[in-house]
Structure 1
């Protein structure tokens, strides 16, 4: 840090008070910067897309429906947050399923941002996680109506496309989670 304005305790942004910190009501650090549809931080004061609330406990069907809505809208970063809530609050036996789904959404996020290596890696990791979960869950390959075999195939195909240099439009390449 070369100057006090570069310090996290000082701000060169006139819309942000000096010594302000992004904290929630309980004092935990939270980044309040606005974000674009792919979750990239924007400058303070810029118009961003509404953030996904964190820590929301949803029924599995609601999780899938909300994630699909966000994926279809080209907002896979936000869908990742929905899957992460399910991963953290859901039953122990489904945590790896939701974690894999979160990895797939963040893989799509990185691919749409142009991060070839990270996008392909996370898409393959997520595909492996949901495939492994389905195999260990007594062949349950359609939990909550999601077709895990088709989703894993979508992720592997997208990973190949990304590595081949194809640009990714997150909304156009969003997976169909059900049926």
Structure 2
């Protein structure tokens, strides 16, 4: 076992109960697997998305699609979450719906049918609102329809493959 695995959380987290950044905000420093599940301190995990990265809508969609294509929906959710937090108010529900979509895919990949169903249903409702005039080439109608179909058929949350973010 590595020395860091024996020691537990990094010094910044000891006594505080949670990992914190320099500003005192909660940040989980534990390594994670490809589906975002926390691993023990000292374990080898996958490279995580940096938090708080400001990307353009096009950069957000490209990076999230790359992560979805690589089977890393949890990490795509983090990219969408950064955009959701930094987007102008009229777009926040769009990015939140896309983040929920990615979390729904994460739950499905982890075998959590109840979580997948709930998040995909929320995502479908949020994305459907943007279907009449979808920004940035996002296939809001297709994503909403797919998410609603999967949420309505809990035993079939994973198949078929989800549609691409842009039509």
Q: 2:158 aligns with which of 139, 144, 168?
A: 168
Q: Which has the larger radius of gyration?
A: 1
Q: In 2, distance between residues paired with 1:127 and 1:144?
A: 18
Structure 1 residues 53 and 18: CA distance shift in structure 2, 3 A = closer
Q: 1:46: how far off?
A: 1.0
User: What are the Cα deviations for residues 76-111 of structure 1, in whole angstroms up to 9, with x where unaligned?
Assistant: 111111111111101111001001111111011111
Q: CA deviation at 1:167?
A: 7.3
Task: Give per-residue Cα distances to partners, 1:13-53, cap 9 Å, x unaligned.
Answer: 41436865022122322111100111100111111111111
Q: Tell me, which stretches of 5 or more residues in structure 2 are unaligned?
A: 14-18
User: What secondary structure does 2:49 align onto?
Assistant: coil
Secondary structure in 2 aligned to 1:118?
A: helix
What is the aligned partner in structure 2 of residue 16 from structure 1? 8
Of 40, 58, 61, which residue of structure 2 is paired with 1:61? 58
Partner of 1:149: 141
Flag the 1:95–1:168 CA change in 2: closer, same or farther, 3 A.
Answer: same
**Which residue matches 1:31?**
28
For residues 77 and 137 of structure 2, what CA distance do their matches in structure 1 show?
18
Root-mean-square deviation (Å): 2.2
> Is the contact made by 2:32 and 2:45 (CA closer than 8 Å) also made in structure 1?
yes
Number of corresponding residues: 159
Cα 1:167–1:60 change in 2 (3 A) is closer
Give the CA deviation at 1:175. Answer: 3.0
Q: Does the CA contact (< 8 Å) of 2:150 and 2:157 recur in 1? A: no
Three-state SS of the structure 1 residue aligned to 2:55 is: coil
Gaps of 5+ in 1: 1-11
Q: 2:6 is paired with a residue of what secondary structure? A: coil
Return the alpha-carbon distance in structure 1 between the equivalents of residues 157 and 93 of structure 2. 29
Cα pair 1:83 1:102 within 8 Å, conserved:
yes
Distance in 1, Cα, partners of 2:115 & 2:65: 22
State how 1:43-122 maps to structure 2 within 5 Å: 43-122=40-119
